[in-house]
Amino acid sequence: MGNNQEETRLSLPGGVNGGGGNNNKINMEILRLVLNRRRCNEGNGSEEEKIIEEEDDDDEEEEEVPTHLNTINSSGGFLVVSPDKLSVKYTNVQLHGHDVGVVQANCPAPTKRLVYYFEIFVKNAGAKGQIAIGFTNEHFKMRRQPGWETNSYGYHGDDGLLYRGPGKGDSFGPTFTSGDTIGGGINYASQEFFFTKNGKLVGPVYKDVKGPLFPTVAVHSQNEEVIVNFGQQPFVFDIKAFAQAERLKQHMSIEKVLLPLNVSHWIVRSYLLHYGYQDTLNSFDMASKSTLPPIAVLQENGFSEHGNMFALNHRKLLRQLIRSGDIDSAFGKLREWYPQIIQNDMSTICFLLHCQKFIELVQVGKLEEAVIYAKAELAKYFEIASLAGLVQDCIALLAYEEPSKSPFGYLLGMGQREVAADAVNLMVLLEDPQSCTKSHLEKLLRQLTACCLEKRAINGDQGEAFHLQSVLQSS
């Protein structure tokens, strides 16, 4: 099995969850497979690179990060922000509890990542050392310490307490004073805030606030002064090691999950069965026959192979014919064995096979024959908007002396043959009501994706976006 076919298959969006029935859904499933491959191959680069690039573009699209302090939204009467907007000093004489000098970052903490972190350096603890670091929302009252209002958290230097809304603070960590570096962060994976002192973790606290949160600093007595580091300078705390430890923690929690005996064997076997790789399946069975659990264990764990066994020899031969570029013979076998599959010449499966036939003619340099075939078999598909794009890509191959080096050269690779073979395999499987359009592996990957997306949604769409392709590449 080549890498290209697996990448294409595993990145399929949407689709049909069961066998039989709805031709519109089946055609849509095949169309999605084709269009997904076309999307991945627009421009230069491999399918793998394109998929990962698009995922990164979608989920890290110019996400703004804090770079300086917001001098507009601050309690300006009690503090002075430096010209570079990275340090703040209390300039008044504290007379009342609400004479707080507080300032937020210029934008909320970014949310599409595992952790966010910033630090302050206490240049001068001033008269009382009432400095605080924390996070507040956009409605925070700018004459209050972070943690004194709802939807805000603050670690305070004079008493070492953590404040998280109206009421007294909770015992949390050591006090801090002049010369100390204090950090505040958000662990989106665990939904916790965390704070540090001089490069060491003080501790976490559960984050029960949703929505955008601004890094916030407060000073509250004469001559207090802090310098803020949003990442322009190296942090004292090793935030990269912290993130790596968090990922390791997640990995270890997954490793603790007990799986049924030899479940990976049956997942691989069902994949080979489903896609008709009979020769590979036979070799796989021979290599693992001494380690197989009894059939009772297989059934107990919910694995049924009946549907996947359907027409295995036919599916194997059809795949071999298409992978070798012999589309005429593939059409012939379909007419002999499953004429109903290709009886509608405007169906997606016929469209895909006609495209592949045209591609094979271009591949071997039979350009005149390819032009004649395109007029006879491809021109009619221009009327179908969803198919016109691929038809145009195919026809465009004729414009290049070296089609394989053109922007549409992806059509000439084995990956495109695999798309056609997968589509035919799917249509044959659907002739059996007990067959399924997805292998066990694909079902598991879809379930994994759904669970990760749901978890992120529960967390307010905060944290690292889940990319199946990236996970597979890092495994």
CB neighbourhood size of 131 (10 A): 33
Q: Is the torsion defined by CA of 5, 317, 344, 328 positive or negative? A: positive
Residue 367 and residue 310 share a domain: yes
- State the Cα–Cα distance between residues 181 and 457, nearest whole angstrom: 34
Residue 222 and residue 85 share a domain: yes
- State the Cα–Cα distance between residues 199 and 17, nearest whole angstrom: 51
Strands laid side by side in the 115-124 sheet: 79-81, 87-90, 225-229, 115-124, 181-187, 192-197, 200-206
Judge contact between 152 and 135, C-beta under 8 A.
yes
Residue where a domain terminates, one of 223, 243, 263 = 243
Say which amino acid occupies 414: M
Structure tokens at 228: 């803020």
**Residue 306's pLDDT is what?**
53
Residue 73 and residue 36 share a domain: no
Residue 347 and residue 200 share a domain: no
**Residue 49's pLDDT is what?**
41
Residue 199 and residue 143 share a domain: yes
DSSP 268: H
Residue where a domain terminates, one of 218, 243, 268 = 243
Structure tokens at 174: 């050591």
> CA neighbours within 13 Å on the CB side: how many for 315?
26
Please report whether residue 164 resides in a domain.
yes
> CA neighbours within 13 Å on the CB side: how many for 136?
29
Residue 31 and residue 87 share a domain: no
Residue 387 and residue 311 share a domain: yes
Residue 316 and residue 209 share a domain: no
List the Cα angle 276/39/52 in 5-degree steps. Answer: 90
Please report whether residue 283 resides in a domain.
no
Judge contact between 341 and 334, C-beta under 8 A.
yes
**Residue 239's pLDDT is what?**
98
> CA neighbours within 13 Å on the CB side: how many for 181?
16
- State the Cα–Cα distance between residues 184 and 155, nearest whole angstrom: 8
User: Looking at the 3D structure of the chain, how many domains does it have?
Assistant: 2
In 28-93, which ranges are E strands? 69-74, 79-81, 87-90
Judge contact between 216 and 103, C-beta under 8 A.
yes
Residue 313 and residue 434 share a domain: yes
How many residues are listed for the chain in this entry? 475
**Residue 274's pLDDT is what?**
87
Please report whether residue 358 resides in a domain.
yes
Residue 104 and residue 8 share a domain: no
Please report whether residue 259 resides in a domain.
no
- State the Cα–Cα distance between residues 44 and 37, nearest whole angstrom: 13
| Neighbour-count burial of 349, counting CB atoms closer than 10 A to its CB (0-12 exposed, 13-18 middle, 19+ buried) | buried
Say which amino acid occupies 379: A
Please report whether residue 284 resides in a domain.
no
DSSP 408: T
Tens-binned pLDDT, residue by residue, of the chain (475 aa)? 343 333 333 222 333 333 334 556 666 666 666 666 555 555 444 444 443 344 444 444 578 999 999 988 776 667 889 999 999 999 877 656 678 999 999 999 999 999 999 999 999 999 999 999 999 999 998 888 999 999 999 999 999 999 998 878 999 999 999 999 999 999 999 999 999 999 999 999 999 988 999 999 999 999 999 999 999 999 999 999 999 999 999 889 888 988 887 788 888 888 898 888 888 988 888 887 755 554 444 455 555 555 567 888 999 999 999 999 999 999 999 999 999 999 999 999 999 999 999 999 999 999 999 999 999 999 999 998 888 989 999 999 999 999 999 999 999 999 999 999 999 999 999 888 877 778 888 889 989 999 989 998 988 889 988 888 777 776 6
Please report whether residue 208 resides in a domain.
yes
Residue 168 and residue 129 share a domain: yes
- For residue 86, the domain's CATH number is 2.60.120.920
Domain that holds residue 236: 69-243
Please report whether residue 475 resides in a domain.
no
Please report whether residue 392 resides in a domain.
yes
| DSSP codes of every residue in 106-163 | SSPPP-SSSEEEEEEEEEE-TTT---EEEEE-TT--TTS-TTSSTTEEEEETTT-EEE
Residue 76 and residue 33 share a domain: no
- State the Cα–Cα distance between residues 249 and 243, nearest whole angstrom: 10
- State the Cα–Cα distance between residues 193 and 43, nearest whole angstrom: 42
**Residue 18's pLDDT is what?**
34
